[in-house]
Amino acid sequence: MPFRAKNRALSVVLAAAGTAALGLGTAAPARATAEPMNYVALGDSYSAGSGVLPLDPAASPLCFRTTRNYPRLVAARTGARLTDVTCGAARTEHFTRAQYPGVAPQFDALGSDTDLVTLTIGGNDNNTFISAILACGTLGALTAGQGSPCKDAYGSSFSDDIAEKTYPAIRTALNQIRARSPKAEVAILGYPWILPERAVPGCFLKMPVAKGDVPYLHQLQTDLNAAVEKAAGEAGATFVDMAEVSNGHDACSPRGTRWIEPLLFGTNVVPVHPNAAGEAAMADQAAAVLNLD
């Protein structure tokens, strides 16, 4: 379905055309121009583009927000009026309370005149995903990459946290966005793949995860993205799926192909996060799903 801002622009053009056809006034009507849509970008480091340089001078240095994140790219291609409050390490709780001194709750940027909201959120809630990667990396190094020590030690605990804590928090946050900005198109992006579906040659040198734990972490990310998608569906938001398009662009892929930089031997200031190509891919996918081109 065409984006609301496009409908609004079309209405302006049709109104101008109707006025000209009726001959109201002797002068030629002024060319109608669409008012830029008000775009608010919320979310965590995947939205902030943490690790990609240069940093946004308007943001707190603690947020590690780049000027090359996907919200900036979406705004540039649409001419939107962007308010970017994304911040690295943000959790759903930081939508309604300050994350750092001087960094306001992200929901303060929302208003009744907001036309578009995008976000990624959930990966930091309960420290589930970062804890899993660190735990699996530590155990993988101890076993020299053999076996599935992380899966053996933690079982379903990380996925249980996502189902029991992260999913309801995301759903609540999306409902709160709707209440604050009732006319806005709300789009929540899934996370692009960090690891491939199974271990590949050379992966352990970049991501020191045991061979049997690579599919374990891949499934954990599948569970996280499924929770995001489910929450979006229940809250009436648009889910921007990054899974299929990011296949083959994970942190184990070669430099120049990968969208996520690895833990070791990467190029980002912040590892295990999207590089500039990854942020551009997120912008492309969001624009395609929202019909912004």
Tokens of 157: 């605990």
Reported as a single tens digit per residue, the pLDDT across 184-194 is 999 999 999 99
**Structural contact between residues 39 and 253, judged by C-beta atoms closer than 8 angstroms:** no
- Angstrom CA distances, 280 to 14, 72, 145, stand at 34, 10, 32
Closest alpha carbon to 3 in 191, 140, 186: 186
Catalytic residue among 94, 218, 249, 273: 273
Per-residue pLDDT tens listing for the chain (293 residues): 444 444 443 333 323 333 333 333 334 444 345 799 999 999 999 999 999 999 999 999 999 999 999 999 999 999 999 999 999 999 999 999 999 999 999 999 999 999 999 999 999 998 888 889 889 999 999 999 999 999 999 999 999 999 999 999 999 999 999 999 999 999 999 999 999 999 999 999 999 999 999 999 999 999 999 999 999 999 999 999 999 999 999 999 999 999 999 999 999 999 999 999 999 999 999 999 999 97
CATH level 3 topology of 37-289:
Rossmann fold (3.40.50)
Among the listed residues 293, 270, 286, the one whose alpha carbon sits nearest the alpha carbon of residue 66: 270
> 99: which residues sit within 8 A by CB, 6+ positions away?
62, 63, 87, 89, 90, 105, 106
Domain boundaries, the chain: 1-35, 37-289
Verify whether residue 273 is a known catalytic residue.
Answer: yes
Which of 45, 50, 159, 246 is catalytic? The answer is: 45
**What is the maximum alpha-carbon separation in the chain?**
83
CA dist list (Å): 101 to 3, 89, 93, 105? 36, 14, 15, 10
pLDDT number for residue 33 = 58
